[in-house]
Amino acid sequence: MDETLRTQALRHASLLADWQRSLAPLSLEGDSHQWALIGVDLLEGFSRVGPLSSPRVAAILPPAAQLVGGLLERGMPSSQVLFLEDHHPQSAEEFAAFPPHCISATQEAEPAAELRALAAWPEFTRLPKNSVASHSNPALDTWLERCPARQIVAVGDVTDLCLYALALHLITRSQARSLGQRIIVPENAAQTWDAPDHPGDLYHLLFLHQLARLGVQVVSRVLL
């Protein structure tokens, strides 16, 4: 990297850090029957077990579960909670890009214990997916068609892949159809992994910032 690029990278990293510090909390307003929450890949295989598990992701499980429980207490119907989950066959084409993970009927494909501990867990909708793109399962759009929500909170991992693809689909779907939906991503309930070739702090902020540029409301957290 030449000095010009290095300087630009350092300046942009500083701008991202300033942007993160500027994020404010949000309290959802209006009719709680027009709220929804969609979580993606809050699984044991991305948090505690398996080749793609990360303590960074494990750290967002308590706030994500608390958010779900708090929104339900404020009146959001349990029918408006959806979890999208990696459930791969042994022969998944995605394994050409990533190590085999979250294979169906394994511990890695199990939802995180914090979510399963919620009293309303059996009432939530769960949909499998076999790629980073949640909308590759057409049942997602079928669920969205039935859901009356005007404000949709999206949480999960990882920020730069599955969560990004989900939030991008939600905001562009609303924009294309003039639905006027507000798509909200709380930074404290989103995360990515860290590795030598994948600096987690940088990728986390870069992709949250890009979602904000596209019209997603990125907030520090949702107040309960």
Q: Which long-range contacts (CB under 8 A, 24 or more apart) does 213-218 make?
A: 214/168, 214/171, 214/172, 215/171, 215/175, 215/183, 216/154, 216/167, 216/170, 216/171, 216/183, 216/184, 216/185, 217/26, 217/182, 217/183, 217/184, 217/185, 218/23, 218/184, 218/185, 218/187
Compute the Cα dihedral for 213, 30, 42, 143 and give only its sign. negative
Residue 19 tokens read as: 């942007």
The answer to whether residues 222 and 26 touch, using CB atoms and an 8 Å cutoff, is yes
What does each of the 224 residues of the chain score in pLDDT, given as a tens digit? 576 767 777 778 888 999 999 999 999 999 999 999 999 999 999 999 999 999 999 999 999 999 999 999 999 999 999 999 999 999 999 999 999 999 999 999 999 999 999 999 999 999 999 999 999 999 999 999 999 999 999 999 999 999 999 999 999 999 999 999 999 999 999 999 999 999 999 999 999 999 999 999 999 999 99
For the whole model, what pTM was predicted? 0.95
Would you identify the CATH topology of the domain 31-219?
Rossmann fold (3.40.50)
